Amino acid sequence: MWRYLKRLLIGRPLKTTDAGGQSLTKFKALALLSSDALSSVAYGTEQITTVLFVLSAAATWYALPAVGIVLILLFAITMSYRQIINAYPSGGGAYVVATKNWGTSIGLIAGGSLLVDYMLTVAVSVTSGTEAITSAIPLLRPYSIGIAIFIVLFIMTLNLRGMKDSASFLTLPVYTFVIVLLGMLGWGLFNIATGKLTYHAAAPVGSAVPGMTLILFLRAFSAGSSSLTGVEAISNAVPNFRKPRRKNAANTLAIMAALLGMFLIGVTFLSYYLGVMPNPDETVLSQIGSAVFGKGIFYYLLQFSTALILAVAANTGFSAFPILAYNLAKDKFMPHMYMDKGDRLAYSNGVISLAVGAIVLILIFHGQTSLLIPLYAVGVFVPFTLSQSGMIIHWLRERGHNWVLNSLVNLLGAAISLALVVFLFWLHFSNVWPYLIIMLVLLAGFYKIHAHYTMVASQLRLNNEQAQLHDYSGATVIVLVSSVTHVTTGAINYARSIGDYVIAMHVSFDTNPKKEHETAKEFKDSFPDVRFVDLHSSYRSVAGPVLRFCDVIAKDSAKKNYSTTVLVPQFVPRKPWQNILHNQTSLRLRAVLNSRENIIVSTYSYHLKK
Amino acid sequence: MWRYLKRLLIGRPLKTTDAGGQSLTKFKALALLSSDALSSVAYGTEQITTVLFVLSAAATWYALPAVGIVLILLFAITMSYRQIINAYPSGGGAYVVATKNWGTSIGLIAGGSLLVDYMLTVAVSVTSGTEAITSAIPLLRPYSIGIAIFIVLFIMTLNLRGMKDSASFLTLPVYTFVIVLLGMLGWGLFNIATGKLTYHAAAPVGSAVPGMTLILFLRAFSAGSSSLTGVEAISNAVPNFRKPRRKNAANTLAIMAALLGMFLIGVTFLSYYLGVMPNPDETVLSQIGSAVFGKGIFYYLLQFSTALILAVAANTGFSAFPILAYNLAKDKFMPHMYMDKGDRLAYSNGVISLAVGAIVLILIFHGQTSLLIPLYAVGVFVPFTLSQSGMIIHWLRERGHNWVLNSLVNLLGAAISLALVVFLFWLHFSNVWPYLIIMLVLLAGFYKIHAHYTMVASQLRLNNEQAQLHDYSGATVIVLVSSVTHVTTGAINYARSIGDYVIAMHVSFDTNPKKEHETAKEFKDSFPDVRFVDLHSSYRSVAGPVLRFCDVIAKDSAKKNYSTTVLVPQFVPRKPWQNILHNQTSLRLRAVLNSRENIIVSTYSYHLKK
C-alpha cells in the first residue's frame, strides 16, 4: 500500500547512470533557477516603500534612487558570478569557493548561511505567494498560514519526484509570469503615455521631504537588496546544465539579470507614478495590477502567476539545499543521511529537512514576509561576501589571463555584499540577531559531527595489518522461551543448527507456583534433550534477570572459547497493525542485550499464516 | 539519564508480592474513590440552573425540586451499588457484572462506555477545577486550556508512582474540601438565620414561571444528574480495600452518599436564597463563596480546595481506567499491553492512554465543562443501567436470602438509570450523539482484537503432540560487508563459530569500476579463506539485491538441509544521539530480511570505545 502510494507520488526509481540525462536546457534552467531572483519583484519594491512610508507618503519617491542603486549592485554581482561559473564549473557555489580559497572555517560559515538561507527562500517565497493570493481573494486571508504550509508540502512532493520532472512542470508558470509582467509594464507605460493613467505620486521626484535622513535611505535600500537574492542559484547548479555547461550557465545568468532589472525599475516606477502605498492587506504589486488592468481577468492572471512563480522560487531552494547538504555531508560536516540518494535520485532527506525547516520558519514568523526578509538578506549576503572575496584570492593565486580585471570585478562584488551585510546588521538588527545564534549552533554542530566521524573512522580502520582472525571452539545459544508453542519448536531447531550448546531460558513472575512450573513441565515434555532454566523475577521486569543470566553464560562460554548468541523468538503477524496487539517484550530485550559486546542477538521470526 | 529521571519521578520498582500492601483504609479510600462524586457539587447545581436560566431568572427556583429528585436517585443508586459490592467483592464493576449476567456483548457496551467515561471524568474534573481557579484569579482565564493540560499531566505522573503513594498524598485536599464546604454551608445558614445574609431569590419557591414546561424541567434535572457520576467508583475497587473488604467498601459508600447529599442540597439552597445566576466567567460555587465569606482568605481557600478536590476526582479515573483496561485485555478485547505492569505496579499503559484521551477531549471541547457534561452523564448511566439490570438477573438466578427485596432495589436503580439515559438522548441529543459513534468504533475494535488473539493462539498451540524436532545438517551464514574494518573482522569470526559455510556479501553502486573492486581486494587480502560475493546494484538500493541474493542462498541451504542466517554487522556509538549520524541501512535491511521465513536475521554489534 505504502509502496504503491510512494511510487504514485514519487515515480519509478531511476538507475544511477540515468543521472547524466537529468541535465537542463537554458530554457528550462531559466524556469528552474531564475524564479527566485525574478519573483523577488513581488516583494522587493514593497520592502523599500514600506520603510520609507514609515516617515511619510512623500518619502516614497526615494524608492526610485534606491532601486537605481540595487540595479547597479545587480549588474556588479552578476558579473562576479559569471566569473565564478567559469572558474568553478563543477558547481557547489559559495561553500565550495569559500572553502577552497579561504579555508574550512570560512567555508562552513558560507555553507551554514546558505542552508538557513534556502529555508528562508522557501519560507519567504511561499508566504509572499500566499499574500498574492489573499490580495486577490480577501476571503482566504484567515487561512494564509495553512495555505503557505500546504504549498510547501506540495512543492516538497514534486521535488521528491526528481529534478527534471519538476522542471518541465515549472516552465509554464515562470514564463507566464514573465509575459504577464512585461504586459503589465508595457500596458501601464502605454496608458501613461496616452494619458489614460493619471499621475498620482505623493510627491515629485527630488522634492524635499522633512525628516528624511541618509540612514533612513540606507535602511530602505538595504531592505530592497532582498531583490538580489537568488542570483547565486545558477552558479551553484552549473553541473546540471546541458553542455557546453559554462557558456549556457553564464548566458542564462545574463538573461535573468536583464529581466530582473527591467521588472524592478518598471514596478518601482509604476508604484511611484500611481502613488501606491504599502498596505498590510494588499501587496504593492496587486495594487499596481488593479490600477493598470482594473479588477478583470488580467489582474487575476497577474496575481495567480505571481503566486505560481513564487512557488517555483521556493522550488529553487529545493534544488539547491540537497546539493549543498550533500557536499557538507561528503566532507563529514553533516550526517551521512544527506548522502543517501532516494529513489529518483533526488536527495530525499535534504528535501524533507528543507520543507520541515521552512514550515517551522513560517509558523514562527506567523507567515509574515516582511519579518522574514532581513534575515533572508543576511543569509544571502554573508556567503556572497565570502565567495566573492574568495574569488579575489583565487585570481591572485592563479594569475591567469586578465587576472587584474577579474579580481577588480570580484572586489566590487565583495565590497557591495559586505556593505549590505553591515547595513543589515546596523539598521535591521532587531530582525537579524537570530542569524548569529543560528550560525553559532550550526558551526558547533558541523565541528562536532566532523570530530565524531573522524574518530569513528580511526577506530574502525584496520591499519593495513592482516585482520585478526579468531577460531572459536564452538557456540553457545540461549533461546528465550515465554511459552511452549510452534514458535519455540522452530527456534530450538534453528538454535541446534548453529549452536554446540543450547539452553532454553524462561522468566516467570506468577506468585502462583503451580502455574510457574507448568511451562517448565511442558517444555521438558516437548524437548527432553534441551537444558531448561527457569528464572524467577520478583520484580515484573524481564530485562534485568535475562541480562544477568546471559552475562553469566557468556562468561562461561568465553572460558570454553565459545561464542554466545541469544535467540529471541517472535511471531510476525500477517498485517503490520497487528504488531501493536502483541507484547513488545522481544523488542525491549533486544535493545537491552545489544548493550553487551560479547553477546550476539539473533531473532527467530515465526510467520503467522492467517 | 532517562533511567534516573524515571526513578526520580516514578520511584523505585515494587516487588510483585508487595501488591497486597497496596490496600486502602476507609479513610484513604474515601479520599481516593469518593472525590469524583463529592466534587460534582462544583458543577452539578450549576448545570441545572444554567438550563433553567435560559428561560428566565425566575425559573431557577426549579433547581430545588430538581436537586430533590437527584437526591432520591442518589439514595436508590447507592443502595443498588451496596448490593453489587456484596455480590461481586472481586471488583470490576459494570463490565464484570454486565458480562456475567447479560453476556459478552452487553458487557462490552458497559466496558466501552466506562472507558470513555473515565476519560470524561478526567476531562470534566480538570476543566471544572480550572474554572474554579480562573473564577478566583481572572488573570489566568486566557491560559485555562494550558492549565487544564498541565494538571492532567501532573496527575498522570502521580499515578505512574503507584496507587498507595497517590492516596496518602490526596487525603489532604479531599478532607480540606469537605471541611471548607461544610463550613461554608454552616456559616451561610447561620448568617441567614441571624439575618446577616439577606434573601435575594429571583422568585419565591412555587411562584408561577411563564413558559416553564415539564420538558425544560427534565432537561435541567437530567443535566444535574451528572452529580451522580462517580458513585460506582467504590464498587469497582473493592479488591483495593483493607479487609474486611465488603464491609469497608459498603460503609465508605454510605458515608460518601450522605456527604454528597448534604452538599448538593446545601449548595442549591444557598444559590437559590442568594439569587446566584450562572455566569461564564465565574462559577456558581465561587459566587456563593464570595457572598458567604466575602473575598477574603476563606473564599480563596474554598476555590483552592475545590480545584484540588476536582484534581483528586480526575484521579478517580486514573485509579479505575487501568483496572478496567486490564480486565478487558485479560479477556482479549484490548491489546495485551494493558496487562503489562510497569514499575511500581501501576498499569502504566492504561494511565498514559487515559491522560492522552483526556487531553484530546479537553482540546476538542476547548476546555468547556458544560459541553462535556451530557456526554459524561451518558457514559455513566449506560453502564449503570446495564449493571443494575444485570443484578436483577443475578438475584433471579441465585434466589438467595432476601432475593425479592434485593431485585426490587436493583430494579429501581436500573429504571432510574435507564430513564436518565432516555432523557439525555432525547433532551441533549446535540451534545450526546458522539457517544453512538465512539461506541460503534470501540465495539468493532473489541471484536476485531478478540478475533485476532483467538486466531493467533490457535495457530501457535502445539495441540499436545510432541514438538516436531528437526535436525539440520549445518548452518549457512551470510555476512553483509560494507567496508573492511574491525567490525567486519569481528563479524566474520563470530560467523565462523556458528556457521559451517560462511559467505561475505558486498553491494556496490559506484559507476567507477576501480573503487568497486577495491573492497573486494581488501577483503580477500584480509580473509583469504572466506567466500566473497560482490553484487552490483544499478539502482541505489541495497535492500533489493540483498534480498534476492539471500533468497538464492537460502534455497541452496535448504537443499543441503542447512539453516540460513544473515549476519548484519553494525557498530554501536558510545552515545545514543550519535546513531543519527550513521546510515540506517542495517535497520532497513533487518526489517526487509525479517519478511523471509527461512532466513534468520542476526546482528553483530561492535562497540566503539570512544
Q: Chains A and B: how many Cβ contacts under 8 Å? A: 207
Q: What is the DSSP string of A160-193?
A: HT-HHHHHHHHHHHHHHHHHHHHHHHHHHHHHHH
Is residue A548 predicted with pLDDT exceeding 50? yes
The closest CB to that of A499, out of B498, B583, B597, belongs to B498
Any CB–CB contact under 8 A between A565 and chain B?
Answer: yes
| Residue B549 belongs to a domain | yes
The minimum CA-CA distance between A165 and chain B, rounded to whole Å, is 19
This prediction's pTM: 0.69
| Residue B468 belongs to a domain | no
Kindly report which listed range (A224-228, B448-452, B536-540) carries the lowest average pLDDT score. Answer: B536-540
Question: In whole angstroms, what is the distance from residue A110 CA to residue A91 CA?
Answer: 14
- Please count the helices (runs of H) and the strands (runs of E) in chain B: 22, 5
Any CB–CB contact under 8 A between B3 and chain A?
Answer: no
Render pLDDT for B194-242 as a digit per residue (tens, 0 to 9): 888 888 887 888 788 888 888 888 888 888 888 888 887 777 777 778 8
Chain B residue numbers with beta carbons less than 8 Å from the beta carbon of A603 are 594, 600-602
A244 prior amide bond cis, ω within 30: yes
- Is the domain of A427 the same as that of A380? yes
- Is the domain of A384 the same as that of A508? no
Quickly state the pLDDT bin for A13 (edges 50, 70, 90).
Answer: very low
Render pLDDT for B541-598 as a digit per residue (tens, 0 to 9): 777 888 899 999 999 999 999 999 999 888 888 887 777 777 667 777 888 888 888 8
Contact B604 A600 (CB under 8 A): yes
**What's the alpha-carbon Rg for chain A, to the nearest Å?**
32
| Residue A255 belongs to a domain | yes
> What's the one-letter identity of residue A262?
M
| Residue B455 belongs to a domain | no
Which three cell numbers mark A270?
509604476
Render pLDDT for A472-503 as a digit per residue (tens, 0 to 9): 999 999 999 888 888 888 899 999 999 899 99
Is residue A346 predicted with pLDDT exceeding 50? no
The arithmetic mean of pLDDT across residues A3-18, rounded, is 46
- Is the domain of A121 the same as that of A243? yes
B553: Cβ–Cβ under 8 A, 6 or more apart, which residues? B476, B478, B503, B564
Question: In whole angstroms, what is the distance from residue B21 CA to residue B10 CA?
Answer: 18
| Residue A465 belongs to a domain | no
- Is the domain of B444 the same as that of B540? no
Q: Are A240 and A248 in contact (CB under 8 A)?
A: no
- Is the domain of B180 the same as that of B328? yes
B486: Cβ–Cβ under 8 A, 6 or more apart, which residues? A459, A460, A461, A462, B606
B573: closest chain A residue by CA: A456
| Residue B393 belongs to a domain | yes
Question: In whole angstroms, what is the distance from residue A70 CA to residue A185 CA?
Answer: 19
In this prediction, residue B580 carries a pLDDT of 74
- Is the domain of B434 the same as that of B491? no
Any CB–CB contact under 8 A between A497 and chain B?
Answer: yes
DSSP label at residue A141: G
3-state DSSP assignment of residue B572: strand
The closest CB to that of A470, out of B488, B493, B509, belongs to B493
Chain A residue numbers with beta carbons less than 8 Å from the beta carbon of B580 are 335, 337
Q: List phi, psi (to 5°) of B533.
A: -115, 125
- Is the domain of A154 the same as that of A237? yes
Quickly state the pLDDT bin for A455 (edges 50, 70, 90).
Answer: confident
| Residue B106 belongs to a domain | yes
Q: Are B89 and B246 in contact (CB under 8 A)?
A: yes
- Is the domain of A168 the same as that of A257? yes
517-556 in chain B: CB under 8 A from chain A: 525-527, 538-541
- Is the domain of B189 the same as that of B314? yes
Higher pLDDT, A145 or A508: A145
Element (H, E) at B507: strand B501-508
- Is the domain of A384 the same as that of A498? no
In this prediction, residue B368 carries a pLDDT of 85
* Structural domain of B597: 474-607
Render pLDDT for B174-201 as a digit per residue (tens, 0 to 9): 899 999 999 999 999 999 988 888 888 8
Any CB–CB contact under 8 A between B561 and chain A?
Answer: no
Contact A610 B449 (CB under 8 A): no
For testing contact with chain B, the best of A450, A464, A600 (most B CBs within 10 A): A600
Q: Are B241 and B29 in contact (CB under 8 A)?
A: yes
Any CB–CB contact under 8 A between B509 and chain A?
Answer: yes
Give the dihedral sign, CA B547/B548/B549/B554: positive
Contact B602 A604 (CB under 8 A): no
Which three cell numbers mark B54?
435560559
The arithmetic mean of pLDDT across residues A425-439, rounded, is 89
Nearest to A500 by CA among A560, A549, A559, A551: A560
For testing contact with chain A, the best of B6, B347, B458, B498 (most A CBs within 10 A): B498
- Is the domain of B114 the same as that of B151? yes
Burial of B286 from C-beta contacts in 10 A (0-12 / 13-18 / 19+):
buried
Q: Are A594 and B605 in contact (CB under 8 A)?
A: yes
- Is the domain of B424 the same as that of B507? no
Which three cell numbers mark B487?
567490525
Any CB–CB contact under 8 A between B452 and chain A?
Answer: yes
Render pLDDT for A557-590 as a digit per residue (tens, 0 to 9): 999 999 999 998 888 888 877 777 776 677 778 8
Any CB–CB contact under 8 A between A449 and chain B?
Answer: yes
Q: Are B80 and B235 in contact (CB under 8 A)?
A: no
Which three cell numbers mark A203?
510627491
How many domains is chain A partitioned into structurally?
Answer: 2
Render pLDDT for B18-31 as a digit per residue (tens, 0 to 9): 444 457 788 888 87
Quickly state the pLDDT bin for B478 (edges 50, 70, 90).
Answer: very high
Quickly state the pLDDT bin for B514 (edges 50, 70, 90).
Answer: low
B343: closest chain A residue by CA: A540
| Residue A561 belongs to a domain | yes
Contact A563 B468 (CB under 8 A): no
CB atoms within 10 A of CB A608: 17
CATH number at residue A284: 1.20.1740.10
Is residue B370 predicted with pLDDT exceeding 70? yes
ipTM of the complex: 0.71
Give the dihedral sign, CA A383/A389/A390/A395: positive
Question: In whole angstroms, what is the distance from residue A190 CA to residue B175 CA?
Answer: 86
B59: Cβ–Cβ under 8 A, 6 or more apart, which residues? B52, B53, B203, B209, B211, B212, B216
The minimum CA-CA distance between A321 and chain B, rounded to whole Å, is 19
Question: In whole angstroms, what is the distance from residue A572 CA to residue A603 CA?
Answer: 11
Quickly state the pLDDT bin for A141 (edges 50, 70, 90).
Answer: confident
Could you say which of B388, B414, B449 is where a domain stops?
B449
Contact B601 A602 (CB under 8 A): yes
DSSP label at residue A279: B
B294: Cβ–Cβ under 8 A, 6 or more apart, which residues? none
Any CB–CB contact under 8 A between B330 and chain A?
Answer: no
In this prediction, residue B324 carries a pLDDT of 86
Contact A605 B594 (CB under 8 A): yes
CATH number at residue A492: 3.40.50.620
Is residue A345 predicted with pLDDT exceeding 50? no
In this prediction, residue B520 carries a pLDDT of 84
Any CB–CB contact under 8 A between B465 and chain A?
Answer: no
Quickly state the pLDDT bin for B92 (edges 50, 70, 90).
Answer: low
Could you say which of B392, B414, B449 is where a domain stops?
B449
The closest CB to that of B499, out of A17, A460, A498, belongs to A498
